[in-house]
Amino acid sequence: MAEDVEYVKNEKGEVAVACQIKLASNCAGKGAFCEDEEDARDWVEEECWVFSGVGYICLQCNEQIMRNLREIRPKTAR
């Protein structure tokens, strides 16, 4: 199983899924620390983080992406 999901570890050896893009100023950064990678992934999936295919994107960053998409519209008219 090839995957590039990024994890963070704490001193206790617990793992959490890291937000893939850390775009939003209020980005969650990472999910909750769990015993292993699988639990950590379950946690973010329950929180409805978006799986991009290579990693997970937290809700705040996902919102930021949506906001950016709306702002990309050309502002040519005055």
Which contiguous run of DSSP H or E holds residue 70? helix 59-71
CA atoms within 13 A on the CB side of 51: 10
Interaction mask 30-59, Zn ion, x per CB under 5 A: ----------------------------x-
Size of the site for Zn ion (CB under 5 A): 4
Cβ count near 24 (within 10 Å): 19
- Please select the residue that binds Zn ion; options are 15, 17, 18, 19, rule is CB under 5 A: 19
Stretch that binds Zn ion, among 2-10, 12-20, 42-50, 69-77 (CB under 5 A): 12-20
